[in-house]
Amino acid sequence: MICLGVTQSATGRRWVSLDPAQERLAEAIAQTGPPLPLARHLARRGVLPEDAAGFLDPKLRDLLPDPLTLRDMGVAAARLLSAARDGHRIAIFADYDVDGGTSAALLVWWLRTLGRVATIYVPDRIDEGYGPNAPAIGALARDHDLIVCVDCGTLSHDALAAAEGQADVIVLDHHLGGDTLPPALAVVNPNRQDEDGALAHLCAAAVVFLCLVEANRLLRKDGETGPDLMAMLDLVGLATVADVAPLLGVNRALVQQGLKVLRDRRRPGLRALADVARMDGPPTAYHLGYLLGPRINAGGRIGAADLGARLLSTDDESEASALAERLDVLNTERRAIEARVTETALAAGEACIAAGSALAWAAGEGWHPGVVGIVASRLKEALNRPSVVIGIREDGLGQGSARSITGVDIGASVQRLAAEGLLVKGGGHRMAAGLTVEVGKIESAMARLSELVARQGADRDGPRDLKIDATLMPRAATRDLVGLLEQAGPFGQGASAPRFAFPELRVAHARPVGDGHLKITFTGGGPGRLDAIAFRATSSGIADAVTRAAGAPMHVVGRLELNRWQGREDVQLKLEDVAIMSETDV
């Protein structure tokens, strides 16, 4: 159903409201208690009336899967516990992103509670690349009895072979597996080829958490009390959001509980990072994904690779403060580098789409490998296509990152390219992947990747439809409503926040803020006003539409949130789109 008659908005999208079946479902849900705006959002997400109460108050104990449903979990948990009990030397080989850092920190905190210390090794993104390498694994094996690879290792056959005969290896990962497993004592991965895929949505930190759940169960079986795992959910929640895992089922419960733990500010590293990021108000999934996550990632992107893992695992206040300050500075540098690459990459991606490609891609000499993943995300968001951004190195290789849209498995496609010999190496999961390619093969590899994603329907849609839950008047946008809507959260990948349309508003005041953003106050639609913030308003077309409207009424769409500033708490619309009424045939 077309909402407010908008078929071509300022951002080139059609506005779509609930269909008749969803409307009936919303009315049935509302009869069980939730107000109609919330009921309409639940109907959009397919929640049944009898499940609404449980959805709004998810219990981790009801949703957490049995760890032993994952292959090799029993062996992995038992070996980790025996290493802790017997004083074995333990090394943790972690990826350099948030998921890897939190996974390593989970193990460090758990082992520390049992009186053990572990070595953390994080490879350098540029010098060593992603995942285990033979020299590093061989060196760790000579000095340790057990190596635990987290958020990596599933495809590292040759590298893990370097530990054979010296140390046991456990892999706790979530990246797409190949036809064979690497030489390890245990490979726990919901995306192994021989898994049923029921837990494929878990990030690596969640897999590590399940391993610790099983290890604690073994401790209880022997009459011992294990470390408090609920107190570690801030790390799991952070990883789930930062790794863009879908916030559905157990993931949603993990993040919700993790935010409660984070609110207590007990972990020195996260407390220090929240302070340097000037995090205001109770933590939300937005803070995890856009304030904390990018700063932790900054170390692995353009600084020392292990900074994030060290920050998350330290129990020293002074060290935490110093690391947080350093990561904050690196994040500022990262943003400047990213901005320079994004402009060029976006133009190249648009040219790909114009030429009929199902894939948006760009490659450039000297593009820092630490920002190509972020820029690929920018292309994906702007163009609604799977996207790849490649930085060409001096050695004649391109190092790239891929990001996907819902319904297109980019990890499997990249892995197929590697099997076909078009890539030096590549792998990942459904929504993200990494790759290394020879410069001379970039165009042929991207053409083949475009074919593979097109088969999955990557090019069947143009600009995204904007799905709208309900139409409201400004006076209905209250703090009470926002509080009720937050019960359906946390919001993120696979679980968008409620979106509302406000008809026939006029711009009372507008001013530019930041880098291309716009602060707007709307009036109309009865008494009251509506304050809004439009991020990237200049590049999205919203700023131009506001100027062209010249005071004429327009429909606006966005998500309601609480804006906290200097002790005040006001309702604000995060503006996503506008439509001038004369241009919508209304």
Closest CA to 150 of 195, 197, 198, 111: 111
| pLDDT beyond 50 at 586 | no
Q: What is the pLDDT of residue 398?
A: 95
**DSSP per residue, 153-171:** -TT-HHHHHTTTTT-EEEE
100-117 confidence digits (pLDDT tens): 999 999 999 999 999 999
278-297 confidence digits (pLDDT tens): 998 889 999 999 999 999 99
Q: What is the pLDDT of residue 429?
A: 87
464-483 confidence digits (pLDDT tens): 689 999 999 999 999 999 99
Sheet strands (E) in 228-365: 360-365
Q: What is the pLDDT of residue 585?
A: 47
Q: What is the pLDDT of residue 376?
A: 96
Which pLDDT band, with edges at 50, 70 and 90, does 582 fall under? low
Above pLDDT 90, what percent of the chain? 83
- Sketch out the chain's domains with CATH numbers: 63-329 (3.90.1640.30), 356-455 (3.10.310.30), 468-586 (2.40.50.140)
Strands 186-188 and 168-172: parallel
Q: What is the pLDDT of residue 129?
A: 83
38-71 confidence digits (pLDDT tens): 999 999 999 999 999 999 998 999 999 999 999 9
- pLDDT, mean over the chain: 93
**Which has the minimum average pLDDT: 202-211, 298-307, 438-447?**
298-307
Q: What is the pLDDT of residue 461?
A: 56
516-537 confidence digits (pLDDT tens): 899 999 998 778 899 999 998 9
Mean pLDDT, range 327-352, rounded to an integer: 94
Q: Three-state secondary structure along 164-212? A: CCCCEEEEECCCCCCCCCCCCCEEECCCCCCCCCCCCCCCHHHHHHHHH
306-318 confidence digits (pLDDT tens): 999 999 999 999 9
| pLDDT beyond 90 at 563 | no
Above pLDDT 70, what percent of the chain? 98
Q: What is the pLDDT of residue 144?
A: 98
DSSP β-bridge partners for residue 172 = 150, 188
Contact 380, 387 (CB under 8 A): yes
Which pLDDT band, with edges at 50, 70 and 90, does 463 fall under? low
| pLDDT beyond 50 at 413 | yes
137-182 confidence digits (pLDDT tens): 999 999 999 999 999 999 999 999 999 999 999 999 999 999 999 9
- The amino acid sitting at 501 is A
User: Where do we find the tokens 């490979």?
Assistant: 187
Residue 81: phi and psi, rounded to 5, are: -65, -40
Q: What is the pLDDT of residue 457?
A: 87
Rounded to an integer, what distance in angstroms lies between the CA atom of residue 260 and that of residue 266?
Answer: 11
